[in-house]
Structure 1
Amino acid sequence: MLTRLLVALLAALLLVASFVVVQFNRRPSLAPYQSLTLPASAEATGGVRVRFAGVTTLVFDDGETVWMTDGFFSRPPALRTLFGRIGPDASVIDQSLRRLGVTRLAAVIPVHAHYDHAMDAPLVAQRTGALLVGGESMRQIGRGSGLADSQMRIVKAGDTLQLGKFTLRFIASRHSPTPYSSGHGNDPITEPLTLPAHVLRWREGEVWSLAVTHASGRSFLVQGSAGIVPGALAHVRADTVFLGTGTLGKKDEAYRAAYWAETVKPTGARRVIPIHWDDFTLPLDRPLQATPYLIDDFEAVMADLQRRGRQDGIEIRMPPLFEPFVP
């Protein structure tokens, strides 16, 4: 009897493991959205161009000042991330910065402190002379990587930061609710984070929405995570919203409707560019792929965004990888 029970249990575990493996390798095709990809743009004097490098890494450049969100390039593979210790890959970071054409940055600004946003940021700051900007959790990540306090700028909700002709306002936000993050409050990092470390050491920390204005009159909102703070963006205006969609495909209709209503509609934006939809366990030296169905459903996300965009007269466009584009 015991032998039969053990065999049945083993069979059940194998079935569950097989399901997880299959689902982790099933993902939506990006082919249906190729026509939505914005064209690469030659340098335009006085204008703002952006480069996208996966997840929520965005490089803003007006020809005078260059700054970056996140700066996450290492993208360690899934098994190492889950069962080992991870840290920045200096050679991958250097290669990615060269590919972006970045040698100097005014600032690198992670939108929160999870590893897929903040892990590489101190090394990017060291390589480029940038200020590392964030809350107290980012200070501890920077200290753990040996970054001097003088190369960090600590901000709180409501603060603004002037970078050349760019003005950035930091608005307290929330992470998308997941089994990993509740979406209702930050989990701070309270001591220097030494590397390499287990993935769970990169706790959420402060979560930001970035309201960006430029002297040219252009305005942008960077919403790195699909969390909702009712009313937080009521007075933000933006021509373009860089909209974090991670795990949005697993949310119900009510949540997606509230996210659009609280994040896109108040800004008066005429364009939405989805970000944080790619599988960040895969390297950047190959074409991006959508997050597996086990974690998200990018088909559902795009169908939802395009439907809401048609209703509200807002175009949905995709960012090219590494190429400069006019947002």
Structure 2
Amino acid sequence: MSAVALRLPLKPDRALVRKWVEKLGREKITAVIVSHSHFDHTADAPYFAIEAGAPLIGTESTVNVGRGAGLEESKLIAVKPGQTMTFGDFTVRFIESVHGPAVLGRVPFPGTIDKPLVPPAAARKYRLGGVFALLIAHPTGTILHHGSAGFKPDMYDGISVDVLLQGISGRGDTDQYLENVALKTRAKLVVPIHMDNFFKPIKDGMSFLPMVKFDEFCRKAEQHRSIFTMRTIPFCKEVRILPLNAAIVPGDAVR
């Protein structure tokens, strides 16, 4: 966090990225998809793509982060809102979204990245660049990755999902957020994400981001237990979320 606060350049840890790609299994990584271009989403993403030999997919800003990292043009894919891509049995639809009011009611680092961003670079250089929610369809069910805690009131009209991965850091009113995302999509299983403190090393274990108000989110979600189940997932562990009758491996916390 001190590097961000002091506006110091952020240097991706290539060795650590390589370790995680090996742990995940290179052969399992078909694409690296980024929802928006803030540093906590994109700083390492190009190196995951490089190590996996996979394309980096996102906004034009995300693509410029990839260019700055040295990714080949053939591995850079810029997408537009509403676009759909297919990866084997998976179909991914890119839905235009908005960032939550993360810092004193304001979105940090607004704007776009209009030229290749070469690391190391300060956090403020990783401009927002637009936000996507990812609607992922598979024969076993549908997953919605809503990573940023903002929303457009009509963005999920006519959409229903089995599993919702709902980012909860930097959100505004929790009731409105649940109403416009979890309830609007009629999700059966809600998994809160983007709540861990990414300013600390993974080796230190799970801790919450400051001001994430996890307990408050749980209390509000509990009011809708007749509509959806909420579960958390083990920190840095592989889990299964579809089909629903086999979702989440043992050891998860059920709320």
Give the TM-score taking structure 1 as reference length: 0.69
Flag structure 1 segments of 5+ consecutive residues without an equivalent: 1-77
Shift of residue 234, structure 1, vs aligned partner: 1.3
- Tell me the equivalent position of 2:221: 305
SS in 2 for 1:299: helix
Instruction: Return closer, same or farther for 1:203/1:180 CA change in 2, 3 Å cut-off.
Output: farther
- Tell me the equivalent position of 1:91: 15
Instruction: Return closer, same or farther for 1:211/1:222 CA change in 2, 3 Å cut-off.
Output: same
Separation of aligned partners in 1, 2:27 and 2:11:
22
Separation of aligned partners in 2, 1:95 and 1:291:
24
Structure 2 residue 43 is matched with structure 1 residue 119: yes
- Tell me the equivalent position of 2:233: 319
> Which of structures 1 and 2 has the bigger CA Rg?
1
- Tell me the equivalent position of 1:224: 147
Assess if the C-alpha contact under 8 Å between 1:174 and 1:183 holds in 2. Answer: no
- Tell me the equivalent position of 1:170: 94
- Tell me the equivalent position of 1:256: 174
SS in 1 for 2:121: coil
Separation of aligned partners in 1, 2:212 and 2:175:
17
Shift of residue 266, structure 1, vs aligned partner: 2.3
Assess if the C-alpha contact under 8 Å between 2:38 and 2:109 holds in 1. Answer: no
- Tell me the equivalent position of 1:81: 4
SS in 1 for 2:202: coil
Higher mean alpha-carbon deviation, 165-174 vs 256-265, is at 256-265
Instruction: Return closer, same or farther for 1:169/1:184 CA change in 2, 3 Å cut-off.
Output: farther
Assess if the C-alpha contact under 8 Å between 1:104 and 1:130 holds in 2. Answer: no
Structure 2 residue 203 is matched with structure 1 residue 289: no
Q: Mapping of 1:123-138 within 5 angstroms?
A: 123-138=47-62
Instruction: Return closer, same or farther for 1:184/1:194 CA change in 2, 3 Å cut-off.
Output: closer
Separation of aligned partners in 1, 2:199 and 2:185:
32
Amino acid paired to 1:325: V
Amino acid paired to 2:46: P
Assess if the C-alpha contact under 8 Å between 1:186 and 1:207 holds in 2. Answer: no
- Tell me the equivalent position of 1:205: 129
Shift of residue 81, structure 1, vs aligned partner: 2.7
- Tell me the equivalent position of 1:277: 195
RCO higher in structure (CA 8 A, sep ≥6):
1
- Tell me the equivalent position of 1:72: none
Flag structure 2 segments of 5+ consecutive residues without an equivalent: 242-255
How many residue pairs get aligned? The number is 240
Shift of residue 125, structure 1, vs aligned partner: 0.6
Amino acid paired to 1:318: T
Amino acid paired to 1:204: L
Shift of residue 326, structure 1, vs aligned partner: 2.1
Separation of aligned partners in 1, 2:219 and 2:10:
35
Deviations 1:139-181 (A, max 9, x none): 1111111112110111100000100000000000000013388
Assess if the C-alpha contact under 8 Å between 2:109 and 2:126 holds in 1. Answer: no
Amino acid paired to 1:90: R
Shift of residue 206, structure 1, vs aligned partner: 1.6
Instruction: Return closer, same or farther for 1:210/1:242 CA change in 2, 3 Å cut-off.
Output: same
Give the TM-score taking structure 2 as reference length: 0.88
Q: Mapping of 1:21-36 within 5 angstroms?
A: none
Q: Mapping of 1:53-68 within 5 angstroms?
A: none
Structure 2 residue 153 is matched with structure 1 residue 194: no
RMSD, aligned α-carbons: 1.9
**Same amino acid, percent of matched pairs:** 30
Separation of aligned partners in 1, 2:140 and 2:81:
24
